[in-house]
C-alpha cells in the first residue's frame, strides 16, 4: 500500500496487505475527493441495497401497526426496533400473487422463496428444466456490480438446502433454497459458512499470490490483523484523529468477529463425532451464527466491498426449533397453527427473535459513520417474506420493512398502507434509486409512491 503524506488524499481502493490478506478499509474523511468522483446513482457516497428474508410467514397480529403515517405504534414483534423507529418504515398491502398456486397445486414454500425477488411464478419441475426470472438484486449486480470488488453477496444461515432434485410438492429444490437468481434458470446459492465469507471479504481470493500466502498464514494460526499490522501502523501515522479512531474501531470489530468464528470452529472440532446422520441446521449456537453473518454483511457494506446483498436467514419450510427462547417445536410445523393461540404465541416469539437480530444489524450500520451520515443513512434494506400467515400460505398483505434513508431517497419513520400492490413495484423503485435501468421486474406495474 502506498501511504500518502498528510496533505494528500487516500484513494478509495486502498487495502491493508499482508501475508495472505487484503483488507478493504471503511470510508474515511481523507477519501472524500475520491468518493465524490466515484460512480454512483447520485454521486458522493454510493447507496447500498440489501434484502433479508424470513421463512414460514409471520404472526401478523403482532406485526402490523394499528396507526398509519408517523403516528404508528410498534407491536410486540417489532418492539426491538424502538430505538430505530425513525430509520424504518412498515409497508402493508404488498403482495406476491405469482407465489400462489395458479393451477399447479401445492408448493407454496418453493414458490415463496423463488418469487420473493423475481416476482415470477416458477415452472413446476423436479428436473433440470428450471424457469423463474432474474432477481432484483442480480439486475442491480449486472449493471453496477462492476463498481465493487464483489458484484453481490449472498448469505444464509441454512446449510440444509439442496440444489438438485425435487423438494416441495414436486418443485425443484433450487426454487426453495435460493432467493437470488442470475437469470431464468441459474440460482446464486448463498454461503452459510462464516469462515468462507470472512475469507472472501478479507482474503483476496482472486489473487493467486495471496491465496498461497493465506495457506501459510492459516498453517501458522496467524490472525489476519497480525499480518496487516505493519501496513495498518503506517496508515495510522498519515491519518487525522477522526480517521484514526474510525480505523481503530473497524479493526477491533473485525478482530472480534474473527475470534468468534475461530471459537465456533474450535467448539465444533472438540465435539465427539456424531452417531447419527447430521441433523438439519448448523451445529452450535444459532444466535451467534446469525449475529456473525450480520456482522460480516455489515463489513461488506462499510468497506464498499459490495453494494448489493441478500441474506436468506433460513429457507422456506425450515423446521428449525428454537429451544433457547422456549420453542421446542419446529418452525414450519408451528406455522400450520390452525388458529391455536398457543402455537401463534410461539410463532410470535420466533418472529421477535429474528427482528431482534435484525435490529442489532441496523444499529451496527447506524454506528458506522461516513460522509453524509452513516452506512444506514446511505442504505435501502428490505426485511420481509413472500408469505404472511403461514397457516393459510397467504401471499398478500405481506410483512415488509423498508429500512435506512437511501441517501435521502427514502422517508422512513412511518407505517404506509397500500392497496393490494405488487411487491415488485417496491423493487423497481429501489432499483431506480440505485441508478439501475429496468422497465419492469416480474409482475411490476410501476414505481411505488410514498416510500
Question: Domain holding 68: CATH number?
Answer: 3.40.720.10
Distance CA 24, CA 194 (A): 18
The answer as to whether 277 is a domain residue is: no
**Whole-number Å distance between alpha carbons of 46 and 34:** 12
Residues 355 and 396 in one domain: yes
For residues 343 and 235, membership in a common domain is answered with no
H helices then E strands: how many in the chain? 13, 13
443 assigned to some structural domain: no
Domain boundary among 272, 302, 321: 272
Domain end call among 250, 272, 294: 272
Residue 195 is classified by DSSP as H
pLDDT means per 10 residues, the chain with 451 residues, are: 47 60 70 48 75 97 96 96 98 97 87 96 77 96 92 91 67 91 92 87 57 50 64 74 75 75 55 37 74 93 94 95 97 96 97 98 95 92 97 96 96 96 98 95 95 94
Per-residue model confidence (pLDDT) at position 267: 45
Please check whether residue 204 lies inside any domain of the structure. Answer: no
- Number of folded domains that form the chain: 2
My answer on whether 24 and 89 are in the same domain is no
- Tell whether 438 is covered by a domain: no
Residue 440 lies inside a defined structural domain of this protein: no
Co-location of 117 and 167 in the same domain: yes
Q: Where are the beta strands (DSSP E) in 75-234?
A: 88-95, 153-156, 181-183, 186-187
Separation between Cα atoms, residue 47 and residue 373, nearest integer Å: 12
331 and 362 share one domain: yes
pLDDT at 414: 98
Question: Is residue 202 a part of any domain in this protein?
Answer: no
Contacts of 84 (CB under 8 A, 6+ apart): 359, 362, 363, 366, 403
Grid cell of 76 as nine digits: 410486540
Structural domain of 152: 47-192+282-433
Q: How many CB atoms lie within 10 A of CB 229?
A: 14
Q: Which DSSP letter does residue 79 get?
A: G
Determine contact, residues 13/272, Cβ cutoff 8 Å.
no
Task: Please give the DSSP secondary-structure letter assigned to residue 404.
Answer: S
72 with 164, same domain: the answer is yes
Closest C-alpha to 174, from 159, 184, 160, 189 = 189
Query: Do 213 and 315 have their domain in common?
Result: no
Is the domain of 112 the same as that of 220? no
Q: Where are the beta strands (DSSP E) in 283-377?
A: 308-312, 369-370, 373-374
Q: Is residue 332 part of a domain?
A: yes
E strand intervals along 271-368: 308-312
Together in a domain, 322 and 426:
yes
Quick one: 149 and 121 in the same domain? yes
Residues 417 and 320 in one domain: yes
Q: What is the pLDDT of residue 446?
A: 96
What's the full length of the chain, in residues? 451
State the pTM of this model.
0.83
Determine, yes or no, domain membership for 197.
no
Same domain, 213 and 169: no
Amino acid at each position: 500500500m502506498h501511504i500518502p503524506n498528510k496533505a494528500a488524499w487516500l484513494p478509495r481502493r486502498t487495502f491493508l496487505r499482508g501475508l495472505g490478506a487484503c483488507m478493504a478499509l471503511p470510508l474515511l474523511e481523507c477519501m472524500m475527493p475520491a468518493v465524490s468522483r466515484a460512480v454512483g446513482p447520485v454521486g458522493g457516497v454510493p447507496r447500498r441495497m440489501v434484502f433479508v428474508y424470513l421463512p414460514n410467514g409471520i404472526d401478523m397480529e403482532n406485526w402490523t401497526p394499528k396507526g398509519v403515517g408517523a403516528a404508528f405504534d410498534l407491536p410486540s414483534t417489532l418492539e426491538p426496533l424502538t430505538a430505530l423507529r425513525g430509520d424504518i418504515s412498515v409497508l402493508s398491502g404488498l403482495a406476491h400473487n405469482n407465489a400462489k398456486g395458479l393451477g399447479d397445486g401445492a408448493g407454496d414454500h418453493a414458490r415463496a422463496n423463488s418469487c420473493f425477488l423475481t416476482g415470477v411464478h416458477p415452472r413446476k419441475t423436479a428436473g433440470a428444466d428450471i424457469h423463474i426470472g432474474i432477481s432484483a438484486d442480480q439486475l442491480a449486480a449486472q449493471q453496477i456490480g462492476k463498481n465493487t470488488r464483489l458484484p453481490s453477496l449472498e448469505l444464509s444461515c441454512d446449510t440444509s438446502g439442496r440444489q438438485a432434485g425435487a423438494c416441495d410438492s414436486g418443485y425443484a429444490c433450487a426454487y426453495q433454497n435460493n432467493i437470488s437468481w442470475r437469470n431464468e434458470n441459474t440460482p446464486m446459492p448463498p454461503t452459510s459458512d462464516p469462515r468462507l465469507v470472512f475469507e472472501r471479504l478479507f482474503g483476496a481470493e482472486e489473487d493467486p499470490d495471496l491465496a498461497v500466502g493465506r495457506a501459510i498464514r492459516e498453517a501458522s494460526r496467524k490472525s489476519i490483523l497480525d499480518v496487516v499490522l505493519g501496513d495498518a501502523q503506517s496508515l495510522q501515522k498519515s491519518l487525522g484523529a477522526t480517521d484514526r479512531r474510525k480505523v481503530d474501531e473497524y479493526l477491533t470489530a473485525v478482530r472480534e468477529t474473527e475470534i468468534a468464528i475461530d471459537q465456533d470452529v474450535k467448539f465444533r472440532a472438540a465435539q465427539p463425532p456424531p452417531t447419527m446422520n447430521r441433523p438439519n441446521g448448523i451445529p452450535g449456537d444459532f444466535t451467534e451464527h446469525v449475529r456473525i453473518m450480520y456482522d460480516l454483511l455489515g463489513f461488506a457494506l462499510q468497506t464498499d466491498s459490495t453494494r448489493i446483498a441478500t441474506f436468506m436467514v433460513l429457507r422456506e419450510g425450515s423446521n428449525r426449533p428454537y429451544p433457547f427462547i422456549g420453542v421446542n417445536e419446529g418452525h414450519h410445523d408451528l406455522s400450520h397453527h390452525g388458529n391455536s393461540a398457543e402455537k401463534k404465541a410461539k410463532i410470535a416469539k420466533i418472529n421477535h427473535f429474528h427482528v431482534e437480530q435484525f435490529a442489532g444489524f441496523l444499529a451496527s450500520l447506524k454506528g458506522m459513520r461516513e460522509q453524509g451520515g452513516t452506512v444506514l443513512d446511505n442504505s435501502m434494506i428490505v426485511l420481509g417474506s413472500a408469505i404472511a400467515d403461514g397457516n393459510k400460505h397467504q401471499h398478500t398483505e405481506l410483512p415488509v420493512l423498508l429500512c435506512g434513508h437511501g441517501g435521502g431517497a427514502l422517508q422512513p419513520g412511518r407505517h404506509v398502507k397500500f392497496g393490494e400492490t405488487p411487491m415488485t413495484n417496491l423493487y423497481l423503485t429501489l432499483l431506480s434509486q440505485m441508478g439501475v435501468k429496468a422497465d419492469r421486474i416480474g409482475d411490476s406495474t410501476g414505481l411505488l409512491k410514498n416510500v
